[in-house]
Amino acid sequence: MGRIVVLGVFVADTAYRADRMPRMGETILGKSFALGPGGKGSNQAVAAGKLGADVSIISRLGDDDFAKMALQTWKAANVTPRVITDATSYTGAAFIFIDDQTGDNAIIISPGAAEEFSTDDIAQNAELISGADVFMTQLEQPIEVAKAGLEVARKAGKITILNPAPAAPLSRDIFELCDFITPNETEAEALTGMTVATAEDAKRAAEALVGLGVKTPVITMGEQGAYLHGYGMTPAFNVGPVVETTGAGDAFNGGFATALSEGKSPEEAVRFGCATASISVTRPGTAPAMPTREEVEKLLSG
């Protein structure tokens, strides 16, 4: 069982479905409502936990009902929380409007307590990070905090993974801290300025990321699978009808980190991540859609 530390954010997703967005000052009736756990860091930790990894998450929460949801979500997935509670703020939340006619969405995210992440939080958890096999983070918390976590892990000789989402400009000194970087097509384009739609596009973008200082880029490409620099494409698995793709990237990252923490090769880890993501998209939701180890192993051996 590998040891993983995830630095990341929890957000309570509140999803509203209606025929259209209301105009300012207007009230309309919606078609449905759903409340569930979200946030990239949280989703990735849950994915790894359900796969059997020994995973801890460093995060910031308020002292409220959404914080209780976070703790319950992590407990159910065997994720150990290392939480800084800020009673003067609130746990992050997202308003998600879904157009019932087109499926398009509009999102407002209020990070709340997570906006107060600081490098002091990393210093307080340096021993935890140094004791892991894999350290993984994203860009939903301040970039300087993600960088500080990567620095601690790199100094301790641990495997470092950066999921650069949401996409943001990054300096070379951050890229050089990454053993692996895992953008999707859109994020890879934002980082390199190159359109990424095919395997050949992914190869060029991965080479550009290596030129920026990354050791090994992995570009996730939805139903096509994932491109691993120096290896090529690993196809996605055809498990069944796609229900929801939200959280597929988080599922991949959780599976990828789990496999690496167990000593699997990058090629094996990408395949493990693709299997994890392929199962997750056949179910609604994000954290609730993450598969078990038994399900992933069955798919890989089938």
Any catalytic annotation for residue 121?
no
Residue among 191, 264, 275, 156 at smallest CA distance from 226: 275
Of 54, 64, 179, 250, the catalytic one is 250
List of residues 6+ apart from 263 with CB closer than 8 A: 2
Residue among 60, 64, 43, 74 at smallest CA distance from 111: 60
Secondary structure (DSSP) of 51-87: TT-EEEEEEEE-SSHHHHHHHHHHHHTTEEEEEEE-T
Q: Which amino acid, one-letter code, is at 152?
A: V
Residues making up the chain, counted from first to last? 302
Measuring CA to CA, how many Å separate 234 from each of 123, 179, 227? 37, 19, 6
- Strand 32-38, strand 11-18: pairing: antiparallel
Residue among 114, 173, 181 at smallest CA distance from 147: 173
List of residues 6+ apart from 4 with CB closer than 8 A: 45, 48, 53, 54, 55, 56, 132, 133, 134, 135, 136, 257, 258, 261
- Strand 105-112, strand 134-137: pairing: unpaired
Active site residues: 250
